[in-house]
Chain A
Amino acid sequence: MGSTLSQKVWERHVVRRAEGEPDLLYVDLHLVHEVTSPQAFEGLRLARRRLRRPELTLATMDHNVPTNDAAPEEISARQIEAMAQNAREFGIRCFPMGDPDQGIVHVISPQLGLTQPGMTIVCGDSHTSTHGALGALAWGIGTSEIEHVLATQTIWQKRPGAMAVSVNGALPPECSAKDVILGIIARIGTAGGAGTVIEYRGSTIRALSLEGRMTICNMSIEAGARAGIVAPDEVTFAWLAGRPYAPKGPLWELALDEWRALPSDDDARFDREVTIDATTLRPYVTWGTNPAQSVTIDERVPSPDTFGADANREAAARALRYQELRPGTPVREIAVDAVFIGSCTNARLEDLRTASEVVRGRRVKPGLRALVVPGSMRVKADAEREGLDRIFREAGFEWREAGCSMCLGMNPDVLRPGERCASTSNRNFEGRQGPGGRTHLVSPAVAAATAIAGHFALPSDL
């Protein structure tokens, strides 16, 4: 029997395997940011340990950096300074605030060409699954595990299951990668991928750009999976070629041979398979407080009575109370106070291009706050070279510096209690974008159209 892509990557990284133990895996790249790492470095200091492989470690600051020209809040500044200090003390390359390569950790690593097919990548952040879009096996870890990886460059892991999600057919107009993943999560649920690595396959996935594949892999964690992965192909190789850390010359040829052998074998067996017909997808809007609680933009807010099990009915009722939504309300009639275009899910150049096309020559609904936060300073610079900043600004959007920003409300970009936001981010949990804030997850195109209309809308509604 053949192997799946994720099994192949796994097997190539086993340092030690013994009965009754998880596998000890080698980590090719460890990404570090300011929020989940300080306690790990402190642990190293207390135990007088050094980094095993500082050159396989990259640090940046993204979670709580300000994205306007204000100075960081004092408490955030201490964490940002600690990251810089830890990087100096332990010999780690760090892209600090103000550096042209600074940005959201999951945006900068692929952009630098550090994320490559067949690698193992970990980071103290659940959205590390993003890197799977290039055929890397990448997953989020906790702070104790960060300390372990810093000290040993390895991690103990139980072998995950393999799940296949195949998406086939042409995406309908106005549907994007974001709608594919929201549609997948709506079908399989918040624990649908539990204990597995999801391999996204099929003609729809193959036809997506690498950026779209990153959007999909990014939200694997919202389906409960350990990681998401897409087989590397010509799209992947074209994206990587020439990037600063991509292999060059004869090494590129060697790497290509290896990468071409990575896709799942034809006779590989998956523990679970789900097939989705892309032609049936529509743009999605979440109505609830977990990412599986969504409907298409053409539908209405559902009634809790339509949910079978008691627990689901109760959860839906609670979510509607929190979101202050009435069952039966058409999604297009829900007005929003804020629009956030950003995050490791949807703040790459392609996302900003899509959104800017929608708002070009139009004006944000008066009274509505609209933010564009590029995923990295490179994305910001590239967008500015194309004049996208001007389009957004002229439409009434704020054009910001790179960072996680309003995705998780760790910097001053937060919703006020009761405010409702159309957001291109990945989580609609209670209070995620600020205490009492209400989040609806959407694609960049829907977010942009919603900013103009003032309520959920498609570009074609404008």
Chain B
Amino acid sequence: MEPVRHVVGRALPLARADVDTDQIIPSHWLKRLGRTGYAAGLFEAWRRDPGFVMNDARYDGASILLAGANFGSGSSREHAVWALREAGFRAVIAPRFADIFKSNALANGLVPVELAEAIVTRLVDAVRADPATEIAVDVEQRLVTAPGLRAPFALDDHARSRLLAGLDDIAVTLLREADITAYEKKRPEWLPKVR
């Protein structure tokens, strides 16, 4: 994973609540074996509607998605995050994320930024008024800035350091292998083994 310190760019005002991962990437895209080739599936059904915000050329090249509450609910498919990344998004700003989506985002360097609903609405209004509005997400300072707006956001230290360092979780965990082995020695013997 590449380190992520800042995401600076224009934003796409999706502004819908309860966007589930079936909408972000429909299930027929999940038959692929790799981590790439998902961009064309992003919001596939909604993109068929010419009025859908992604079809508005003024938002082309946006790197930040402005979403409603409970973004990424439903299926655990990491493909949703891969599709967003591949389509050029580096951060999603929403009042709240579904848990699994959030862990998947963090594992792929897509910054999940939780801000109060009123602030997200202000950002949406600003971007709708002027699609060229630039928004900056500073991972190090945990701060979102836009013209006339500075909003700190919560991101725990662990998640922040992983984003900043672009760490491979497995390598980090394997440094703790002695702890894992010690734990395994005291596991009760009735626990099932699949054979």
Contact = CB atoms under 8 A, between A and B. Distances in A.
Contact of B33 (A28, A38, A57): A38
Interface in A8-57: 15-16, 20-22, 24, 26, 28-29, 35-36, 38-39, 42, 47, 49, 52, 55-57
A156 interface: yes
A154 B179 CA distance: 11
Interface string A49-89: 10010011110000110000000000110110010000000
A113 B34 CA distance: 33
B103 to A, nearest CB: 6
A290 B176 contact: no
A245 interface: yes
Interface stretch (A189-197, A202-210, A275-283, A323-331): A189-197
Contact of A435 (B20, B34, B45, B98): B45
B35 interface: yes
Interface string B120-145: 00000000000000000000000000
Given A15-B183, A39-B34, A142 B103 contact: yes
A194 B99 contact: yes
A124 interface: yes
A444 interface: no
Contact of B78 (A20, A21, A36, A290): A36
A281 B177 CA distance: 50
Interface string B66-82: 00111001111110010
Interface string A200-236: 0000000000000000000001101010000000000
B26 A431 contact: yes
Contacts of A113: 192
Given A93-B195, A144-B104, A158-B156, A254 B188 contact: yes
B107 interface: yes
B73 A56 contact: no
A359 B34 CA distance: 44
B188 A55 contact: no
A247 B75 CA distance: 33
Given A38-B33, A254-B188, A429-B20, A57 B194 contact: yes
Nearest to A426: B74
Interface residues of B, number: 56
Contacts of A21: 157-158
Interface string A342-373: 00000000000000000000000000000000
A191 B157 CA distance: 25
Given A154-B180, A191-B69, A430-B22, A142 B192 contact: no
Contacts, number: 192
Nearest to A14: B183
Contacts of B194: 29, 55-58, 92-93, 114, 245
B100 A126 contact: yes
A47 B75 CA distance: 27
Contact of A315 (B18, B173, B189): B18
Contact of A410 (B31, B96, B170): B31
B154 interface: no
B100 A140 contact: yes
A39 B33 contact: yes
B27 interface: yes
A224 B73 contact: yes
A345 to B, nearest CB: 14
A63 B20 CA distance: 18
Nearest to A225: B99
A427 B34 CA distance: 26
Given A16-B179, A290-B18, A427-B74, A224 B98 contact: yes
B30 interface: yes
A401 interface: no
Interface in A154-199: 154, 156, 158, 190-191, 194-195
Interface in B46-89: 68-70, 73-78, 81
A16 B68 contact: no
Contacts of A451: none
Contacts of A64: 31
Contacts of B107: 142, 144-145
A410 B73 contact: no
Interface string A399-421: 00000000011100000000000
Nearest to A58: B194
Contact of B31 (A79, A156, A222): A79
A245 B190 contact: no
A126 B108 contact: no
Contacts of A38: 33-34
Contacts of B184: 26, 153
B22 A142 contact: no
B170 A49 contact: yes
Contacts of A6: none
A15 B195 contact: no
Contacts of B75: 125-126, 408, 427
Q: Which 9 A-B pairs have the closest CB atoms?
A: A144-B107, A142-B104, A247-B190, A142-B78, A140-B76, A251-B190, A143-B78, A245-B192, A55-B193
7 contacts: A39-B35, A152-B177, A191-B69, A191-B73, A245-B192, A252-B190, A315-B16
Interface of B: 16-18, 20, 22-23, 26-28, 30-35, 45, 68-70, 73-78, 81, 96, 98-100, 103-104, 107-108, 156-158, 169-170, 173-174, 176-177, 179-180, 183-184, 187-195
